[in-house]
Amino acid sequence: MDITNIMPTLETTIAKFRNKEAFIGIVGLGYVGLPLMLRYMDSGFRVIGIDIDAEKVDQLNAGKSYIEHISVDSIRGAITAGFEATTDFRRAGECDALILCVPTPLNKFREPDISFVIKTVDALQPFLRAGQVISLESTTYPGTTEEELLPRVQSAGLQVGANIFLVYSPEREDPGNQDFETRTIPKVVGGHTSSCLEAGKALYEQAIDQVVPVSSTKAAEMTKLLENIHRAVNIGLVNEMKIVADRMGIDIFEVVDAAKTKPFGFTAYYPGPGLGGHCIPVDPFYLTWKAREYGVHTRFIELSGEVNRAMPEYVVSKLMDGLNEAGKALKNSKILVLGIAYKKNVDDMRESPSVEIMELIEAKGGKVAYADPHVPVFPKMREHFFELSSEPLTPENLSSFDAVVIATDHDRFDYELIKQHANLIVDSRGKFREPAAHIVKA
């Protein structure tokens, strides 16, 4: 490749980012795209948001937020500063960078579903032009950028690395984490070529404090998977130890708290009712699926996945044990599930194990309800739906249920009130350490 054909386009592209003259397009305005949009606006860039969801677009343009931890004031400030959202993919042609933040779930066979990525790139493809940087942030298996994005980007006659630049930079958002924000979370970036990497670094260095370059898009894709598989495997380990400890009459939460006082060689992970969120329950299966193409069977990763997927059933079995001790069956019992977001203090319900617990209770004939201050009405989900609203946690209401299941330990719950007025508590989060006749540890 003639370097004289690369350098003017690359230098011009880099200069646009460094001078903050570039127009940034964020494609997908969810838990990843929306904070990224706000960060680029705060950094002095012009930004447009593109999403297929007309309702989201209308809310943003009206200055409203549909994500709890993103304030209305921040959205209104972005609108005042020039941000706009649209469903019109033709606007992509105006952008100097297109950052893709779309879902990558699993299908019903627990295999990667990258249809959102492919459909998004296909919709953008007619409007791609020379000088643009295309960055995929969605979690996916190693090889996606090369195998799926590269041929689509080049199908319009553009040459990646010469006049258009392709990178992968995995999102690392952690909703509800007060210790980090988009700006302060280091950004891993891999480029298809060295020129792509330089363009990707220029894109992100203006908005993120630390950019971490790696040798390829595959290395960046694998980095994201390792981060979350590390967590999934360790959570699987502690969930299995919870079951063993319970049989032995040992409080696993006490054990973890004691173990974490060791100042080296141990990282504390706590058990729970299963895995939630878009990353940890999903990412291991992206790697195990791709590894089979190379003749590798990822036994360790898959075993931890089996343990974690069994946790909702374990919680329901402990609920049934508690009801049996009280002379009741789960069938026709009224059960209140406390917390349906996947983690504490957020409204994010992606892959929440609480929902599976609710479905299991209902399938066994229980009458299920929920309470969650962060989710006032059960939302529309791709695979799950309950026509329910959050129950008030009053003494009278708590005592009207045969059992309450602590599935997500929000700080806004009044645990003393719950302890005093619930007939039976099934605690999957270790909120009640002192033994009591009406508390079952799960």
Residue 321's identity, in one-letter code, is: D
Which of the following is catalytic: 95, 101, 196, 279? 279
Phi, psi of 23 (to 5 degrees): -105, 120
Cα–Cα distance, 390 to 373 (Å, whole number): 7
Question: What does DSSP say about strands 187-191 and 165-168: parallel, antiparallel, or unpaired?
Answer: antiparallel
Residue 157 DSSP symbol: S
Neighbouring-strand partners of residue 440:
426
Cα–Cα distance, 188 to 172 (Å, whole number): 9
Report the chain's C-alpha Rg in angstroms. 24
Phi, psi of 424 (to 5 degrees): -145, 135
Neighbouring-strand partners of residue 100:
27, 136
Dihedral sign for Cα 176, 178, 181, 184, please.
negative
Residue 335: its H or E element: strand 334-338
Q: Give the burial class of 27: count Cβ atoms within 10 A of its Cβ; 0-12 exposed, 13-18 middle, 19 or more buried.
A: buried
**What does the block give as tokens for 46?**
């012009």
CA 11 to each of CA 6, 22, 154: distance values in angstroms, whole numbers, following the listed order:
8, 13, 20
Helix (H, G, I), strand (E, B) or coil at 191: strand
Q: Note whether 372 and 341 are within 8 A (CB).
A: yes
Dihedral sign for Cα 210, 211, 213, 219, please.
positive
Phi, psi of 414 (to 5 degrees): -90, 95
Catalytic, 279? Answer yes
Q: Tell which residue, 345, 368, 361, 377, has the closest CA to residue 442.
A: 361
Helix, strand, coil percentages in the chain from 3-state DSSP, rounded to 5: 40, 15, 45
Those residues with Cβ within 8 angstroms of residue 230's Cβ, 6 or more apart along the chain or in another chain: none
Neighbour-count burial for 116-149, b at 16+ CB within 10 Å, e otherwise: bbeebbeebbebbeebbbbbbbbbbbbebbbebb
Distance of CA 289 to the CA centre of its chain: 20
Catalytic residues: 279
